Structure 1
């Protein structure tokens, strides 16, 4: 799903960028003296974007300028939200693995997350595990959520996670350290009625 959203985001950004580039280039070309086609919004070099009659056409309508300014404000806020969503990263895309040759290799962050989560799920008493990597690719940090069975000691589950799954991930990726924040939650079971 996220891959599809990323593709849609890139295509939408490309289309918007291409439209703005074509429109801006056409306005610049007409401004520099290139003859405009008959259907174009500008007729010549001295033409303005909005003529006096077009600017004052709705002056008497009290709703016009608030509606225009409100629409522009909504467009601006949507564009700002889109920019923040595109720039903000929720997870680490790749981890730099020390291969010993001085160059290193890149390991996909999701692959390491999946392996960590799968290994954490195999621990005794862990019903489900979800792991995310954050930080920098040279110094990743793990955030794990473990759903524990009711009869499991949380301290023991945490100890097994740090000594097994996190240690294996750190050693296999050649990391000096792999700090982790772990949230533990217990599974709720309904008690059966005895009659």
Structure 2
């Protein structure tokens, strides 16, 4: 399980959100840096003393009031719609893909995401040292992936669990589903031992 494979399984649909947030932050940083440069007078004393709202820009906006208002309203509506789409996309539930094993008409065979997750979870819980497991099938119908969380008992051989997970559980899942690759992101946690009573 390479890093790129795990990254594919971990990545939700956050690429667009991260890119947009990065660009907005970069724009804000550039604006702040420009304001500091002008304010310190590095572009000339005259520019540093000018009011925040440039008189030339104010005069131009006054002369072209109607087009400026229309442009401001259009820009505001566009930003509002883009913000709503961004929020809706971020809040929507993550897809759990069902897998089409056979698309022959009249003999379709579909394995649900819950069935995939349940089978892999049952296999993972049989591994030595694993007390419990949680598995989620994520991604798309054409490119499914798994997110696996394993809770390990104290003193478990980590390398052994990792090797067994790869050779037994994930290999079996790939072969059963007929997939050339099944990316998986694995999270390992130490299971809490039952509290001991002090007398």
| TM-score (normalised: structure 2) | 0.49
| TM-score (normalised: structure 1) | 0.50
Higher relative contact order (CA 8 A, sep 6+): 2
